[in-house]
């Protein structure tokens, strides 16, 4: 996919009508895109700059852009539920995914998060992804190849459980999107370098609690921090400014911790636990 601001054969294009409805397809030599009101010849789109207005043969107009990452993710084929763009952005930021980083990802799903991670680490980084289901892995592989135009050479996708893999390499980040991330805490401690980041994306408070307690009991990680991200769009028409009635609410929790240096004991928490946090005390 070209990034020069002009459309070429093989680029994804996003057409938006005056009502805000979006249509996405790949520009292909000799093809036509048909609507209920005329068609657009793909070849006529080549060479146009992004932000152009294009018309069908019957005069129906669309604004043309290349899809943003969030647009691509929301429209791509999926097997597993995708990591929403708002959560992927937080993961990249909170886990401090940097250019050149060596990252382990477990639970690749449909490939949405893998795309964000690959963009963040750049060509000098390494991403090793694990997915237990081969059908999900196939979908993810196709989505990543479609987005980048080819399979990135610095991405390795393995069908299987991350806990069963073995490596002597040390990694900068471990990112988990799976049902039981607490089962991978020991594995993460073994492969993370000192100061490396452990991040799990979980859907329920039960998973959140189990992962937090596993990190605390392990003794090789800092006190975990947890959060969720809620995004609400706003409507603005003159002085009529109000929140949209629909919003992307809870999608998941992020729980983050860092690897301590080998042999260094985690400092004890100084705050008192909430009353009843660990069950009813015996009298």
User: Quick count: other Cβ atoms within 10 Å of Cβ 79?
Assistant: 17
Pairing, β 38-41 against β 225-228:
unpaired
Angle at 214 (CA atoms; ends 179, 260), nearest 5 degrees = 120
Binding annotation: 110-113, 131, 177
* Sheet with 22-26, side-by-side order of all strands: 22-26, 12-16, 61-65, 52-55
Contact 127, 103 (CB under 8 A): yes
Question: Residues 66, 12: contact at Cβ < 8 Å?
Answer: yes
Annotated binding-site positions for S-adenosyl-L-methionine: 110-113, 131, 177
Cα gap 12→147, rounded to integer Å: 9
Q: How is residue 29 annotated by DSSP?
A: T
Tokens of 212: 């937090």
Give CA–CA dist 175/180, Å, rounded: 13
């Amino acid at each position: 996919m070209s990034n020069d601001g002009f459309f070429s054969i093989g680029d994804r294009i996003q057409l938006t009508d005056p009502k805000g409805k979006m249509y996405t397809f790949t520009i292909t030599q000799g093809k036509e895109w048909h609507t209920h009101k005329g068609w657009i010849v793909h070849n006529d789109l080549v060479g146009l700059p992004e932000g152009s207005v294009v018309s069908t043969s019957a005069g129906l107009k669309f604004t043309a852009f290349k899809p943003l990452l969030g647009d691509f993710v929301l429209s791509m084929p999926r097997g597993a539920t995708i990591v929403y763009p708002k959560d992927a952005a937080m993961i990249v930021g909170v886990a401090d995914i940097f250019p050149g980083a060596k990252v382990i990802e477990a639970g690749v799903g449909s490939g949405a998060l893998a795309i964000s991670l690959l963009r963040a680490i750049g060509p000098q980084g390494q991403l090793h992804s694990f997915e237990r289901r081969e059908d999900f892995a196939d979908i993810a592989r196709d989505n990543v190849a479609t987005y980048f135009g080819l399979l990135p050479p610095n991405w390795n996708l393995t069908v299987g459980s991350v806990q069963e893999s073995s490596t002597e390499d040390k990694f900068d980040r471990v990112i988990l999107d799976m049902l039981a991330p607490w089962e991978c805490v020991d594995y993460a401690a073994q492969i993370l370098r000192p100061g490396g980041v452990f991040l799990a994306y979980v859907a329920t408070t039960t998973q959140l609690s189990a992962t937090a307690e596993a990190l605390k009991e392990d003794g090789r990680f800092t006190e975990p921090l947890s959060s969720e991200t809620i995004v609400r769009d706003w409507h603005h028409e003159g002085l009529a400014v109000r929140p949209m009635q629909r919003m992307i609410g809870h999608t998941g929790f992020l729980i983050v911790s860092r690897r301590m240096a080998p042999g260094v004991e985690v400092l004890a928490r100084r705050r008192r636990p909430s009353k009843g946090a660990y069950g009813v005390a015996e009298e």
